[in-house]
A and B are shown apart, each in its own frame.
Chain A
């Protein structure tokens, strides 16, 4: 019996190639799309979950209060880790840690790699797996360094042992390799290529041992039996007992949540990437649903063709149950074929998808979970898509269909129309979302940054380089390719160092204001294109400006309406005189107003050099000129640089991802919907053949008939637009709330989306309508 179903299914499939194609292709696209999303979601959910002790390991952020608002930082005071270990019984391991980038040299091999300075507990907390050396004594030697396999291979070669060898770091210290660990998986939110004892990170600096400056990441491991609530309460109280006059407090944040739930507002977790994970999961299901709807639509629309078979089978003695089984089997076979197709499509599309989402996902067909998921998707889709048509088709009365009477369609037509409206509503929502996300990104990208990011290079430098800067700057300018160069203690786009506790004339509660510090050279404003709107810039020599500062506009505003020039900013023994005001510039969050900034003429302890190349000079030429200068003065370091405008674009990765994905979804949703609409239009045209014939005989024009056939569909699309607008508006209003600097939703976006939907639908439908309208009425009016 079942064999008979399969046979019939395949023959029906082959006989109606166009219809089968629409059905399988539509479903395959849906499954492919959903699978891509599920792969992404799987990866997102797996972050930081590959550590043996993942359930016991916590990150320790701090909440700090500025101007009445709680803000969350990952940096903590240096002594916190040790004090937690000493004072809180539930904590069994704790480590300080700081992410740094260092130059490594072995023979002729030199590479720059980021890694972590940390305490020995770090190795234990993350259960790092040693392939050379061992965990217990890796950090016994204070000059130790542990490398990942990959880094070790890059430095020492593939088959060489790294253990016991020396590597020169930052061209001034020697580190002894005491261990090689397995490479970290991709899905770790704090990747590192090496680990070295924390003591070597800025030897003996006093601020590292005090509460009051936050600079280190702190990780702890709880005893397996420890109660989270109890320990967390103790952690929250700890800083208050160590430091006077602070309401800062630390708290525990499980590493499992780090990746997905690390957006804090008012000191509390309010979400994070999990929002997108949830959103995309819903979208995946919605797309599957659209594809299944298609399937249902096309199946019921073809009912006329199948009706006869139903009648004959019933007359031959088939019960309704058998017919339902038959139709569901057919749907299952189609959905299995679609699934197989989608696996092929996945294999083809995955590399492209990886580029967009910046991940390294694999199909993982060897993973039984993946196979099981595919089978589940195939079965669920087959059942979902097949159930309604099966019940509908099997309900036909043999007497009526065999007599060639028209199948009474009442409920089926209504449901079919409802399904089309559903599909188009979803598609239009995607179109609106795509437009708005794109607008928001462009809006933020085009905002006045307060500096000129074009032709601006950023380079990491070492402390040794700073004394040579003036000479290098002159030589760079002399090449003719470079406008200017400057040094700064933080990258242009990120938050960098900050602090509070300043006071000045004309402000209240000024100690509460969080201010960022920028240590720069005189040429900073000129190089970056930042505008000094009042007062002066720094003078030629550092000495002349030892107590002068420039402040950003927002800080000037806090000082009141009078000119801030000459105002004194003080903290403890530091007394600084304001000599100039710089227009606000955007750093940190590209969608928000940035904290006020204090610029100091203090090139020591800078870590970045910015170079502005001359307009009109080809970038390759400029780069080779710069490289030549750098090779002369900084020969030990490889020539590594980045472009600020590229780094700037990186800042929009999340939004870009949402934008690109919703664009893909919009296109796919529309494509699938159109496949369905196409089939439906073909069906309607077929069903109304006689009517069209009669109308033509009575003198109807081709255009009149096209209009007649199209207007029903137009109505459906219009209803979809009316439904989609409030849904899209609600979602996007909510999404935009996350951005301080955001667009207003314009009514014309809805119009554009609506017009696009109508146009696409009309093109799809009119093809069939025209075909029906130009057909010869003599053919359609012939009976039998």
Chain B
């Protein structure tokens, strides 16, 4: 028996571009259960990233309902929403988006700072994470000193450190070669097996096949599942 992690009910996202109203996401209905591994597919501009950002609460739907762990996100105050995503959501980006001025250790530690985790606890958690990803030897290096694959590894470690229920990954292997891609995707399916819910946006059929469920988007609509 798995619980529903989040559900979207006619969720819509529009933006004003000049005098035109452009619909990025059009009446999306979606249920995500805990433990799923969903791949969003579709051509550029189909709304994959927008959907991820809205689910991740970096962006918000302009219409429709969004419920996360039974709480209505659409009617929530910014503060509570921020609390919610700090607690339950981790991001992985295509361009890694590590902070250049921080070394590996510090990059992974950052989300914990924002969650006000105590220093000793932070140390233990980061050390565990480094261990788990086999990058203890690289903890003092800066992002520029790492390969793309290694950087993404750090990015994933950083997303995981807060022990989120949901990982949102926007083309996590878009900047990587095929060998590195495979490693990262293997890691994702490993994490999924450990219970983390994952939603990834991807162009690659091969990557999508790691998921338990594939959703195709076109022009902001779900066209097939």
Interface residue ranges, A against B (CB under 8 Å): 1, 4, 7-8, 11-12, 15, 308-309, 311-319, 322, 397-399, 402-404
Q: How far is the CA of A317 from the CA of B85 in the complex (A)?
A: 7
A1 to B119, CA, bound (A): 9
A-B contacts, 19 of them at CB < 8 A, read A7-B102, A8-B99, A11-B101, A11-B102, A15-B100, A308-B97, A309-B100, A311-B97, A312-B98, A315-B58, A316-B110, A316-B111, A318-B114, A399-B59, A402-B58, A402-B93, A402-B95, A402-B97, A403-B49
Contacts of B61 in A (CB 8 A): none
10 extra A-B contacts, CB within 8 A, seeds A313-B99, A313-B114, A317-B82:
A4-B110, A7-B106, A309-B99, A311-B97, A313-B110, A314-B58, A317-B85, A319-B114, A398-B58, A402-B58
Q: From A1, which residue of chain B is reached at the shortest CB distance?
A: B113
Residue with the greatest number of chain A CB neighbours at <10 A, chosen from B86, B101, B111, B162: B101
- A-B residue pairs, 4 tightest by C-beta: A317-B86, A317-B114, A11-B101, A316-B111
Query: Is the C-beta of B123 less than 8 angstroms from some C-beta in chain A?
Result: no
Cα separation A11 to B144 with both chains bound (whole Å)? 14
* A7 to B105 alpha-carbon distance, docked (Å): 13
Q: Complex: how many Å from CA A314 to CA B58? A: 8
Min Cβ gap A333→B in Å is 13
B66 sits at the interface (CB 8 A): no
The residues of A that contact B110 with a CB separation of less than 8 Å are: 4, 313, 316
Chain A: minimal CB distance from B110 (Å):
5
Q: Which residues of B contact A7 (CB under 8 A)?
A: 102, 106
Asked whether B101 lies within 8 Å of A12 as measured between CB atoms, the reply is: yes
**Residues on the B chain within 8 Å of A15, using CB:** 100-101
Contact between B58 and A399, CB atoms less than 8 A apart: yes
- Residues of chain B within 8 A (CB-CB) of A399 are 53, 58-59
Q: Are B115 and A317 in contact, with the CB atoms below 8 A?
A: yes
Any A CB within 8 A of the CB of B48: no
Closest to A15 in B: B101
- Taking the closest CB of chain B, its distance from the CB of A697, in whole angstroms, is 25
Q: From residue B100, how far is it (CB to closest CB) to chain A in Å?
A: 7
Interface of A is mostly: helix
For A4, A308, A312, A318, the residue with the greatest tally of chain B CB atoms inside 10 Å of its CB is A312
Shortest CB-to-CB span from A1 to chain B, Å, is: 6
Chain B residues near A312: list those with CB within 8 A: 97-99
Q: Which of A315, A397, A403 contacts B91 (CB 8 A)?
A: A315
Task: Report the Cα distance A313→B58, complex, angstroms.
Answer: 11
Residues of chain A with a CB closer than 8 A to B59's CB: 399
Which of A4, A316, A319, A402 has the most chain B CB within a 10 Å cutoff? A316
A316-B158, A317-B82, A317-B86 are known contacts. Are A8 and B114 too (CB-CB below 8 A)? no
Binding site for A on B (CB under 8 A): 49, 53, 56, 58-59, 82, 85-86, 91, 93, 95, 97-102, 106, 110-111, 113-115, 158, 162
Chain B residue with the shortest CB-CB distance to A311 = B97
Cα(A317)–Cα(B78), bound, Å: 12
Cβ–Cβ < 8 Å partners of A4 in chain B = 106, 110, 113
Minimum distance in angstroms from A656 CB to a CB of chain B = 50
Q: Which residue on chain A has the smallest CB distance to residue B101? A: A11
Q: How far is the CB of A688 from chain B (nearest CB, A)?
A: 23
Chain A residues near B101 (CB-CB < 8 A): 8, 11-12, 15, 309
For B113, list chain A residues within 8 Å (CB): 1, 4
Residues from chain A with a CB closer than 8 A to the CB of B56 are: 315
Residues on A with C-beta less than 8 A from B99 are 8, 309, 312-313
Which of B82, B85, B98, B114 gathers most chain A CB within 10 Å?
B114
Q: What B residues does A12 contact at CB under 8 A?
A: 101
Contact residue among A311, A317, A322 (Cβ-Cβ distance under 8 Å from B111): A317
In the complex, how many angstroms separate the beta carbon of B119 from the nearest chain A beta carbon?
A: 9
Expressed in whole angstroms, the Cα–Cα distance for A7 and B100 within the complex equals 12
Asked if residues B102 and A8 are in contact (CB atoms below 8 Å), the reply is yes
Question: Complex: how many Å from CA A317 to CA B164?
Answer: 12
- Which A residues are in CB contact (< 8 Å) with B91? 315-316
User: Distance (Å) between the CB of A125 and the closest chain B CB?
Assistant: 66
State in angstroms the CA–CA spacing of A315 and B162 once bound together. 12
Q: How far is the CB of A608 from chain B (nearest CB, A)?
A: 73
Chain B residue contacts of A402, Cβ below 8 A:
58, 93, 95, 97
A538 to chain B, nearest CB (A): 87
How far, in angstroms, from A398 to B49 measured CA to CA in the complex?
A: 13
What's the least CB distance linking B128 to chain A, in Å?
18
Shortest CB distance B18–A (Å): 14
- Complex alpha-carbon distance, A1 and B102, angstroms: 13
Closest residue on chain A to residue B98 by CB atoms = A312
CA distance A309 to B102 in the complex (A): 10
Smallest CB separation, B132 vs chain A (Å): 19
Query: Which residues does chain B contribute within 8 Å of A309, judged by CB atoms?
Result: 99-101
Q: Which residue of B lies closest to A398 (CB)?
A: B58
Residues of B within 8 A of A398 (CB): 58
A404 to B175: give the CA distance in the assembly, Å: 15
Q: Which residue of B lies closest to A16 (CB)?
A: B101
Taking a contact as CB atoms under 8 Å apart, the answer to whether B114 and A316 are in contact is yes
B13 to chain A, nearest CB (A): 11
B residues less than 8 Å from A319 (CB atoms):
82, 114
Point out which of A1, A317, A397, A398 has the most chain B C-beta atoms below 10 A from its C-beta. Answer: A317
Considering the complex, give the chain B residue whose CB is closest to the CB of A312.
B97
- Which partner residue on chain A sits nearest B91 by CB separation? A315
A318 CA to B114 CA in the complex, in Å? 6
**How far apart are A652's CB and chain B's nearest CB, in angstroms?**
55
Q: Nearest chain-B residue to A315 (Cβ)?
A: B91
Q: How far is the CB of A628 from chain B (nearest CB, A)?
A: 77
Chain A residue numbers with a CB within 8 Å of B102 are 7-8, 11
When C-beta atoms are compared, the residue in chain A nearest to B158 turns out to be A316
B109's nearest neighbour on chain A, judged by CB, is A4
How long is the Cα–Cα vector from A7 to B99 in the complex, in angstroms? 12
Q: Chain B's nearest CB lies how many Å from the CB of A188?
A: 56
How distant is the Cα of A397 from the Cα of B15 in the complex, in angstroms?
A: 15
Hey, which chain B residues are within 8 Å of A315, CB to CB?
A: 56, 58, 91, 97
| Shortest distance between the CB of A248 and any CB in chain B (Å) | 76
Residue of chain B at shortest CB distance from A13: B101
Q: Which residues of B contact A1 (CB under 8 A)?
A: 113
The interface residues of chain A lying within 8 Å CB-to-CB of B100 are: 15, 309
Residues in B with CB closer than 8 Å to A313 are 99, 110, 114
Interchain CA distance A402-B91 in the complex, whole Å: 12
Q: Nearest chain B CB to A408's CB is how many angstroms away?
A: 13
User: With A and B bound together, what is the CA distance between A115 and B106 in angstroms?
Assistant: 72
**Measured CA separation A710–B164 after assembly (Å):** 51
Rounded to whole Å, the gap between the CB of B91 and the closest CB of chain A is 5
Contacts of B58 in A (CB 8 A): 314-315, 397-399, 402
Nearest-neighbor residue (CB-CB) of A4 within chain B: B113
Most central of B91, B98, B158 by chain A CB within 10 Å: B91
Cross-chain contact A322 with B114 (CB below 8 angstroms):
yes
* Interface hub of A313, A315, A403, A404 (most chain B Cβ within 10 A): A315
Q: Determine which residue in A397, A398, A399 has the highest number of CB atoms from chain B within 10 A of its CB, and name it.
A: A399
Residues of A within 8 A of B53 (CB): 399
- B163 CB to closest chain A CB (Å) equals 13
CA distance A311 to B56 in the complex (A): 13
A15–B142 alpha-carbon span in the complex (Å): 12
Q: Which of B56, B98, B100, B106 has the most CB of A within 10 A?
A: B100
Minimum CB–CB distance from B47 to chain A (whole Å) comes to: 13
Q: How far is the CA of A90 from the CA of B38 in the complex (A)?
A: 97
Q: How far is the CB of A310 from chain B (nearest CB, A)?
A: 10
CB of B53 to closest CB in A, whole Å: 5
Q: Which residues of the partner chain A approach B106 to less than 8 Å between Cβ atoms?
A: 4, 7
